[in-house]
């Protein structure tokens, strides 16, 4: 099965919600956990234990695991396996981007059946060009996995790069259009990351032909209700993603908070 088919099957069954696994210091504190690799493991695995059978997709943020070095990365391997065992999909948020053999090295780390940190999809960064991501595209397609390419992010600092003019269009639009073209020969495996807090995106994604990861629902100010207005005809491709809104108030409220968002996203379909 292709990534697009696997994602559709998962969200059809469980609802169109992605929960971010962001075991950052403030979250560990809210969970009454120590700021060490034990706390990291209890938080991250606890999220999957509580929600693994009701949420379709999880997005672990690699930075919070790398912050504990190789031991944190070992926890990430376990969390990715937990997500798989629960029948959910993982989008590993690593925002990697490099060229040639280095990009191939990242692809080998995260994509393909034998990757040690195998995820169902990863996020990638196009500063070195969408074309530089080719080794990851190839390996993702071969493994029935996906990519999410940063297009337009929610932070104001991103504008000088993402809204610069590349030919007739913005850089973000160039990324959107290049990925859409790639998808025609890549099993629609190449998705986008687009921030959920813009009233005006600065790029047109309404004709995009694969999944669109939209972080920032809840704590960062985005709402599910506003998505239909911003994304228009592409709303069917949007994967709303919430993190602190679900995990930020401690372990006890996890399930109730996920249920509330699952109810909201059900109104998108």
By annotation, the residues acting in catalysis are 95
List the x/- string, 122-151, binding to a copy of itself by CB under 8 A: ---xxxxxxxx-----------------x-
Q: Which of residues 172-201 bind a copy of itself (CB under 8 A)?
A: 174-175, 178
Q: Which of residues 208-227 bind a copy of itself (CB under 8 A)?
A: none
Give Cβ neighbours of residue 197 (< 8 Å, ≥ 6 apart).
154, 216, 220, 221, 222
Q: What is the DSSP string of 25-87?
A: HHHHHHTT--SSHHHHHHHHHHHHHHHTTT-SEEEEBHHHHHTTHHHHHHHHHHHHHHHHHTT
Is the Cβ–Cβ distance between 35 and 242 less than 8 Å? no
* Strands 165-166 vs 146-152: parallel, antiparallel or unpaired: unpaired
List the x/- string, 18-57, binding to a copy of itself by CB under 8 A: ----x-xxx-------------------------------
From 7, 44, 55, 109, residue interacting with a copy of itself (rule: CB under 8 A): 109
Helix (H, G, I), strand (E, B) or coil at 198: coil
Helix (H, G, I), strand (E, B) or coil at 208: coil
From 12, 36, 38, 69, residue interacting with a copy of itself (rule: CB under 8 A): 69
In the chain, % helix, strand, coil (3-state, to 5) comes to 50, 15, 35
CB of 13 to a copy of itself, least distance (A): 29
CB of 196 to a copy of itself, least distance (A): 13
Residue 103 lies near a copy of itself (rule: CB under 8 A): yes
CB of 62 to a copy of itself, least distance (A): 8
Helix (H, G, I), strand (E, B) or coil at 123: strand
Q: Pick the stretch among 6-14, 42-50, 102-110, 249-257 that binds a copy of itself (CB under 8 A).
A: 102-110
Residue 158 lies near a copy of itself (rule: CB under 8 A): yes
């Amino acid at each position: 099965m292709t990534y697009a088919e696997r994602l559709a099957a998962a969200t059809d069954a469980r609802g169109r919600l992605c929960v971010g696994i962001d075991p950052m210091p403030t979250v560990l504190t809210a969970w009454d956990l120590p700021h060490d690799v034990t706390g990291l493991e209890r938080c991250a695995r606890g999220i999957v234990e509580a929600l693994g059978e009701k949420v379709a997709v999880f997005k672990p943020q690699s930075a919070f695991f790398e912050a504990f070095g190789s031991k944190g990365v070992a926890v990430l391997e376990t969390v990715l396996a937990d997500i798989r065992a629960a029948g959910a999909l993982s989008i590993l948020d690593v925002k990697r981007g490099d060229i040639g053999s280095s990009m191939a090295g990242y692809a080998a780390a995260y994509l393909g059946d034998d990757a040690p940190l195998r995820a169902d999809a990863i996020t990638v960064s196009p500063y070195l060009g969408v074309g530089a991501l080719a080794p990851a595209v190839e390996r993702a397609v071969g493994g029935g996995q996906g990519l999410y390419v940063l297009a337009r992010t929610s932070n104001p600092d991103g504008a000088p790069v993402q809204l610069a003019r590349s030919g007739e269009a913005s850089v973000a639009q160039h990324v959107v259009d290049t990925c859409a073209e790639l998808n025609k020969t890549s099993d629609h495996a190449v998705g986008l990351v687009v921030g959920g807090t813009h009233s005006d995106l600065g790029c047109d994604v309404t004709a995009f032909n694969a999944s669109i990861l939209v972080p920032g629902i809840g704590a960062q100010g985005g709402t599910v209700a506003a998505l239909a207005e911003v994304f228009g005809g592409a709303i069917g491709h949007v994967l709303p993603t919430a993190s602190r809104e679900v995990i930020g108030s401690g372990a006890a409220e996890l399930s109730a908070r996920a249920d509330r968002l699952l109810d909201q996203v059900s109104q998108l379909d």
